[in-house]
Amino acid sequence: MPLDGIELIFRDTYGHDPSVIGTAPGRINLIGEHTDYNDGFVFPAAIDRGLSIAASLSVHETKTLSVQMGAGKPFPAGKVEPGGTTGWERYVAGMAWAIHQNSEQLPPDLKIAIDSTIPISGGVSSSAALELAVGVVWNYLGKFALDNRELARLGQVCENQFVGVNCGLMDQMASAMGREGHAMFYDTRTQDIEYVPIPKSLSVVLCDTKKERTLATSAYNERRAQCEMAANYLGVKKLRDADVGLLNSKRGQMPDVVYRRAKHVISENSRCIAFREALLAGDQTLIGVLMRESHQSLRYDFEVSCDELDAMAASAWAAPGCVGARMMGGGFGGSCIALVQTGKLEEFIKATLEIYKLASALEGEAMVCRIVDGARLVLA
């Protein structure tokens, strides 16, 4: 996390020391993709690529500065409405709006400085990290007494109702509730979290394709609508409630594309449950099979992969030490995630990037990720 310099950046920008510093991590997801908004199972973890924020109270308007994105347009925290701000700062404004919707108390205006080590468009949810980092400092300075679960829910409200992305709750919960050294087996319906340790013999590697995520927002919303359509055909509230038998019995009544979307979600939920058992048992063979099946399902049934993601996954599968790998995130670019035998990290990274460059003509990047705690204050 970029903690060391954020206080200096704030002081240089606003002329005085910040009152509080917070941080929130990005996230990876080992398996369970596009299942969260279907009330399904996911398996994320918070990583040491994160976002730091320094803040203090302001007068009349909220001011934002990002080292990576520049200065945002100022806005009044207690009066901002959806559509009132359209730059990157809409995620900050959206958290003010969501907090206000949740409380009769107006959120105070803030001065904010932000620095990040999260790869932009890498599929590791920089937006959720921003929402949670902003949330923890607004919660402290505004004395709202919200816990991290509540802040995660408000982050989803921000994303859905203010920004306009119909995401599930996985990204915000992973950034809010991460635990060092553990992945989260998370039931998005019950909100139950089981922390499953990742053995030291395995390392998590983020394999960035360096392909920007194109059409991700519009395609994401389209996939969500198709899943809702599938649930209606099947007569269930959410695809979480369907199984393969029900799906196949209704196949002739629904468009093929809707059938395939549902097939991915239903099978992915089953893979997520099986992955938990495989990880607890240390069954590396089954871990690899499940991750490969997940990628293929996302590629062919959910159709959110792309040539670069396919090339990166195939490159990882062919590299020494790879236990399993698959595309991760919304799709159409971004990153693959790999579980790698710790003793073969260097060989894996070298081989994966070499094979990927030959296949794609792109210079990918591989980042070994440490699993860390969730959003928190580090200075108050």
State the Cα–Cα distance between residues 74 and 267, nearest whole angstrom: 45
Q: Token pair for residue 183?
A: 């992945």
Which residue out of 36, 39, 171, 301 is catalytically annotated?
171
- Say which residue the tokens 């990040």 belong to: 116
Tell me the residue ranges of DSSP E strands in 247-350.
Answer: 322-328, 335-341
378: CB partners within 8 A, 6+ apart: 3, 21, 22, 23, 52
Task: Tell me the C-alpha distance between 82 and 163, whole Å.
Answer: 7
Q: For residue 91, what are its two tokens?
A: 């995620």
Do the beta carbons of residue 364 and residue 209 sit within 8 Å?
yes
**CA 194 – CA 188 distance, rounded (Å):** 12
To the query of whether residue 241 is one of the catalytic residues in this protein, the response is no
Give 65-98 as a DSSP string: EETTTEEPPPB-TTT--TTS--STTHHHHHHHHH
Among 192, 107, 116, smallest CA distance to 149 is for: 192
Positions marked active-site:
171
